[in-house]
Structure 1
Amino acid sequence: MAGPRSGPAGTWDRIAGPDAGTGENAGSLGLGLAGALLAPGLARGHGRRAAPVLRLLALDLWGGAWCNNTPSAARWYHRPGQGARQHLAFAAGHVHPAVLAWVDAGGPGDRRARLRWAAALYAYLLAATALLTATRARRTRRVLGLATTAGGVLLDRALTPSAAAPWFAPVFFAKLLAGHAAGAALLPADPLAAD
């Protein structure tokens, strides 16, 4: 795999992978822009007044859900030297639930409920990422990548989804957890596992 280019193109290479093709890049950028355009219209409650925030979140998440599940991103994020610490740091940087808790909150009681929602989704993300990065068997990681994505969506539904961004949990967890299923193919073969 070639390394990232220099300049602005290199910044994109560090996001999508240095060998991302036209289709991968078009999907990432196209879905990101679609999310930025559509997110405010999908908002309910207090979310409509936070259109710029919703646009930024959707740009990152909708495009990232595609991007992180492409073969080039899988090769880039699961290359040698990228281990549990790097994956946990990447996940930890996604404080989107806290931002949505602020957007969704109405009164003081509602604010506490939304912060509990944000803390639960964020803690789930970190725990699921730790579990995924500790799993060395290819088949198990593929299954866990998809199962933890579904589990995050179910947790969100059980705790009452964001009114401002009802699309949030499926896209958030698809971006940050499902990509580990794609990256599982790059794990070294385990001769003891029937993968």
Structure 2
Amino acid sequence: MKSHNEDEYRKPPVTPSVDWQYPSPSGGLDLFIGPGASKAELCLQFLPTLVLAFAMTGWAGIKMESWSWWQFIVFWILLVDMIGGVITNATASAKRWYHRYQIAAKDHLLFVALHAIQPLLIVILFAPENPMYFVVTFGWLLVGALMILKCAVYLQRPCAGAWVVAGILLEQAVLDTPEGFEWFFAVYLIKVLMSHLLLEAPYKAN
């Protein structure tokens, strides 16, 4: 005889309604984060990003005494871009926008290619003696993106997770990471490969 708990376990999960419809963009912010973002999504995108960026910049201010004022500004901008990108690209409004039917694989690869800028800035402005940091970080990102886009949709999420974890382990084992940027590679991979590239259902706000 089945127990009550077994019956509950066998019930299918309640699936929220999926909504791929988005309003027309009303400005530059809509084109960047996706039109129709809810107030909750906007709060999640901006508040944690700013708090964490200022906290990390304060940490760098204590640790990196040799940096100049403009290096701290660049550091803060990179933090806002990376942290905000992880959150923003995972929202339903961003999924509707960046995975709308007009978007092709080449468009996603262009988004990935633009992310050569961040590790290049780190090397040029903080570690010019370490060009391999750019080669390894962007190379790993690009290969991972190509692999994910070639996968069947149902395999993209576990493949992305495996590649991100492998990249983090690679950094710990062999990568010569510029001081102050120990956080960068993991957040970089999560932003692009897991938050942006994955095709996931944009649920309705209830």
TM over 0.5: yes
Would you say the 8 A contact 1:97–1:121 is kept in 2?
yes
Matched, 1:165 2:190: no
More RCO (CA 8 Å, sep 6+):
2
CA change 1:156–1:41 in 2 (3 A) is farther
Secondary structure of 1:32's aligned partner: helix
* Unaligned ranges ≥5, structure 1: 106-110, 187-195
In the other structure, the counterpart of 2:39 is: 22
TM-score, structure 1 as length reference: 0.79
User: Comparing both structures, which one devotes a greater share of its residues to helix?
Assistant: 1
Secondary structure of 2:90's aligned partner: coil
State the shift of 1:4 in Å: 3.6
Secondary structure of 1:80's aligned partner: coil
State the shift of 1:45 in Å: 4.4
CA change 1:17–1:124 in 2 (3 A) is same
Instruction: Tell me the percent identity.
Output: 27
1: CA distance between counterparts of 2:177 and 2:114?
21
1: CA distance between counterparts of 2:125 and 2:51?
21
Match of 2:124 among 95, 102, 113: 102
Moved more, 84-93 or 144-153: 144-153
2: CA distance between counterparts of 1:64 and 1:83?
20
In the other structure, the counterpart of 2:16 is: none
CA change 1:46–1:118 in 2 (3 A) is farther
Report the structure number with the largest CA radius of gyration. 2
In the other structure, the counterpart of 2:147 is: 131
State the shift of 1:161 in Å: 2.6
Match of 1:147 among 162, 173, 195: 162
CA change 1:164–1:17 in 2 (3 A) is same
RMSD: 2.2
Matched, 1:5 2:25: yes
2: CA distance between counterparts of 1:82 and 1:46?
45
In the other structure, the counterpart of 2:4 is: none
CA change 1:47–1:63 in 2 (3 A) is farther
Secondary structure of 1:183's aligned partner: coil
CA change 1:123–1:102 in 2 (3 A) is same
Would you say the 8 A contact 1:47–1:163 is kept in 2?
no
Moved more, 117-126 or 160-169: 160-169
State the shift of 1:151 in Å: 2.4
Moved more, 119-128 or 162-171: 162-171
Which residue identity lines up with residue 46 of structure 2 in the other structure?
L
1: CA distance between counterparts of 2:112 and 2:197?
15
State the shift of 1:180 in Å: 5.0
In the other structure, the counterpart of 1:81 is: 102
Would you say the 8 A contact 1:141–1:184 is kept in 2?
no
In the other structure, the counterpart of 1:48 is: 67
